[in-house]
Amino acid sequence: MSVYRVQKLIQSVNRDAQARERFFENKDAYAKELGLTDDERLAVAELKINALYEMGVHPLLLRPFTIIHGVSEPDYLTAIREGE
């Protein structure tokens, strides 16, 4: 597992419109291109917020990623705390 690769994917989706388009066209294929593990791909593709947070994805990357997915602030906070 490499949180670096997960964060790299999230950063590219957050900042690059072309990367975002490619990601939403086929999340799994885009994640495979970046060498994510099966668990990482699943967490990214299914937006498992708590799993991504527990992996070590920085909140300053994670929150914009969830905004792009239409997640409200209260829902985001609930998901982050889900593991507590």
User: Would you list the domain boundaries of the chain?
Assistant: 3-81
Q: Do 8 and 34 contact (CB within 8 A), yes or no?
A: yes
Of 25, 75, 73, give the one whose Cα is nearest residue 45. Answer: 25
Q: Do 36 and 44 contact (CB within 8 A), yes or no?
A: yes
pLDDT at residue 84 tops 70: no
Q: How far apart are CA 32 and CA 37, in angstroms?
A: 8
pLDDT one-digit tens code per residue, 3-58 = 999 999 999 999 999 999 999 999 999 999 999 999 999 999 999 999 999 999 99
pLDDT at residue 2 tops 90: no
Q: How far apart are CA 39 and CA 19, in angstroms?
A: 21
Q: How far apart are CA 1 and CA 5, in angstroms?
A: 9
